[in-house]
Each structure stands twice: as C-alpha cells, then as structure tokens.
Structure 1
Amino acid sequence: MERTDNSPPKFSLREFFKSLIDHKGKNKPEEVRNYLLVVATLIAAVTFQAGVNPPGGVWQENSHDHKAGRAIYASDVMAFYVFLTCNTLALSSSIFLIINLTWGFPFFLEVLVATVSMLMTYGASIFAITPTETMPSVQFRYVLAIAAVPIIVRVVIQICKYVLWKWSGGKCKFYIG
C-alpha cells in the first residue's frame, strides 16, 4: 500500500508486537536451521569458556585453605554449584541442538566427534578446577548427570507424541517441541 500524502506513517504498537510473534512466511526452514546453529554455537562457545575459565579465575598458588588451579568462585559453595549446574545444562543443550541440526548432513561424523570431545574436555576441566573439599564426588556426579537432561527431555517428548498419536488412532497430529 503506497502513501500519497506526506504525513508520517502510522505506528501501531499492536501491529508491531503482532509482527514480532507472527513468523508465517518470513523464514524458510533452512534459514531457521542456520539461525539456530549460529545461536547454539555461540551458547556452546560461551558456556565452554566459562567452564574452562570460571568466573573469578583460579588460585595461582597453594595456601593453607586453597590449592593452586582450583576455582576461586568455589569458596561460595552454593553459588558455584548453581553456576556449574546451569552452565552444564546450557552447554549440553546447545551441543544436543547442534548434533540434531547437523544430523544427516555432510561431515556429521566430524561434528559429532568434535562436540563429544568438547563435552569430555569440559568435564575434565570442571573436575580439575573444582575443589574436592567444596564439592564432594556425589554432588559432582549430579552436575555431570545434568548433561543428560536435554536428551532425556527430548526422549520423553517423543514418547508422549507417539502415545498421543496412538490414542488418537493416528488421526491427530500433535506438535510438542
């Protein structure tokens, strides 16, 4: 629609918010896939870096109350535990997304090897910087088990979709995730 007068365009807050939510016909599936890959890669890079080099850094020398190479942030046990949990969940979610979005494409095996290696490096780094006195091995295992949460959630969603599809006699299609 072309304007013929010189008046400023009308701005509607309602239309603005509607355009933010409505994506129909705006993005092709391959564009969305590429956007998601970029976002997932950025999240993986940031969370990996935060795990390898924790906030506050690491102690540079041994003393009576800390050991060199251990995270300074770990002196606040609860905050450090929350940090490790959330950071691990973010890293594993982004890597799971990267693997899913590259599934079946050329060089998928190389992407899989790289991402799994990155997860293992992250785990080794967390193990190296976490003081054993601050975080007992049981709590550390919980943090590592968090890495499996995205996979478990996706499997549960797929099972629910299958069960709902079976109950509907194959007629109903449900979109869950």
Structure 2
Amino acid sequence: MLVATVIASVTFQAGLNPPGGVWQQDSENGTEAAGTSILLSKHSDIGYHYFLNFNTVSFVAAVSVLLVEISGLPVRYKFFIWLLALTMIIAIWAMAVAYFNALYLVNPTYLVGIYLADIFSVVLLAAGAVHIIRLLFWIGKLLLKFVLWLITKHPANDAVNV
C-alpha cells in the first residue's frame, strides 16, 4: 500500500507539473496558452502524449490498488493477492516508461535512457509473464483437485448391480 501511495503521488505530480514546465502566460502570437505544457509545443505531440498515457496508466493502476486495499475486499485470497501484484507490476512498468520518455523529451541526446528503458521493459515483462504463469499453474492445480474430487465422490454408474 505504501508503494502504491508513492507511485500515485509521483505520477499525480508529474501529470500536473510535466517535465519542462508549463507556460506561465499566454504568448503574444496566441500559439501557447498559460498553463499548457512547454514540451507539448516544442516537441511532437506523439512523444508528449506517450509520456501522458504511460503516466496516466501508472496513476490509475496505483490508485486502483489503493482502492482495493481500503475497500475491505478479502485480500487474503490468492487471486486478489495475485491481482494486486500484477497491478503493481503494471504501475511500476508504466511509471518507468513515463520516466524514460520524459527523460528523452527533456534531453533527446541522452540515448542511454532509451537502452535502459528497453532493458527495464524486458525485465518487467518477464516478471509479469512469470506472475501469469504462476496463476495458470495455481488454476491448473485447482482444476485437478476438482476433477479428482468429482471422480472420487461421484463414481460412475456403469457397474452391474447384483
């Protein structure tokens, strides 16, 4: 819950105070309005919107974890714990991608950040894949137990009654 709170705070702050800042007053030619992002007008819309999209995904994932935690849902069950962990993986991954994107927007010549973003994405995708595989094994074990219960508790009626 602490990590989700920190991620929500960081992404909230980055969303309202984007990297590079905002225009403090309207421009004389009317192209920039006060309160809009400086990077939005200086770079392509695509790069800035990538930053905003990943930042928003991270914020929503972190706030979702907080809502589940404080809502009183039974988090003692394996599925809820799995769901919360996967949501945190998504929040951390999206926050990292937003960071690396903001780093590129502020300093496009710093290419190390792009390579680190790729490496980090692969590591987190692997962690997510392992997490999903663990869920599939858990569901498989439950299905196997259920099938074995059906076989032992409900014998077939194909025997000849004597």
Would you say same fold, with TM above 0.5? no
Larger Rg: 2
Q: TM-score range by the shorter chain?
A: 0.3 to 0.5
State TM-score, norm by structure 1. Answer: 0.40
State TM-score, norm by structure 2. Answer: 0.43
